[in-house]
Chains A and B, each alone.
Chain A
Amino acid sequence: MEPLNIKSSKAAGHSKYSENSSRSHGSGISISHGDGGFKTGELIEKTIGRFIKNSILDNFEDSATLMFGKHKVAFTTDSYVIDPVFFPGGDIGKLSICGTVNDLATAGAVPKYLSLSFILEEGFPLVSLEKIMESVRKTLAEAGTDLIIVTGDTKVVNKGSADKIYINTSGIGIIDEKVCLSPSRIASGDRIILTGSVADHGMAVLSARKEFDFKTGLKSDCAPLNKLMAECLLCSNNIHAARDATRGGIARALTELARSSGHDFHINENSISVKKEARALCDFLGMDPLYVANEGKMAIFVSECDAAKVLDTVRKNKYGKDASIIGTVEKKGKGNIILETGLGTKRILDLYYSEQLPRIC
């Protein structure tokens, strides 16, 4: 999901101004609940999670790992709302397949079956829907010939009750019995591999928005990473965990894993690459690339002994050409990310507490 939504949504449905009473500035859902930062976590934990607690959900992973007899299965779901629907490097169709495939991949699963559901706004052009379905078809084919959509749903709502098109995909994948990827397996000394440059997707999408009027060759990095992951798992038994860096950026992915694993991470800021155009766009708008959304990048945690080998494998894959080792797992601590700058100074990389807004100051 694109964290930045600076347009008043047509679907807001509010027509009255609020009463002059509350200092807490509203008790409804705010846009920052969807930015992948602290507020999202708070919403999930305090408003949603407390009604449906169980030991599987408590793991708080992108995919749930389930046992069916001897078989290990990963199950995941995600919803896609993005503006604009067609952006440089992809569209909502491609995104909806990649996002779910990647969540399965980070669990070490081979994606097998997907569901595909739509909520369509009245008036959404059929021609656009066909283009989106063509993207879905192409992305499925790229992810693997035996990956199929087996069920789905379509709903249509009145004009103004949704913003063009929303998609939900859920996915099931099979995890080999020898594979176990989990934050609990992250160990001191593990190396952290990042599969490529950050901020491509978020900034490509933003640059496509009419109100900003940027012209750039920057494309979204939206890509299915299941084959990359499978290649890594084939070359090493010492991969402990993986997480794809989506909304909230690489900062969110690393923060979640640091907290889940209970380990501090030491990250080298200079080793995180940012494409020139992404840097310029971030500089124009005053945003921090570490918190900008990606849709085709993964952080992989691997034992030191296999790090070079896995890095090599990642780099051989077309989606991992710019991969690098960005840091090391330290001993058990508070789950802090200690970022070392190019000057050798250190700071804590925190989960971004609020949606990043374009700024001038």
Chain B
Amino acid sequence: MTASPCVNVCHMNPRHGLCVGCYRTLDEIARWSALDEPERAQIVATLRERRAQLGPLRAPRPR
């Protein structure tokens, strides 16, 4: 079972619409627990690409 990509840094980057910790969209986070294994693996592969392409994402404001 593909583990959740959450790294406990849960903030959305408004410009990209992605979580700054795991690079998922809101939809991907909200639906994660209902996805089947191939869908999870597909998302995790996509996250690697997003991370490589976008580099570090910033949270909207410092905590």
Chain B binds chain A: no
Chain A contact residues, CB within 8 Å of chain B: none
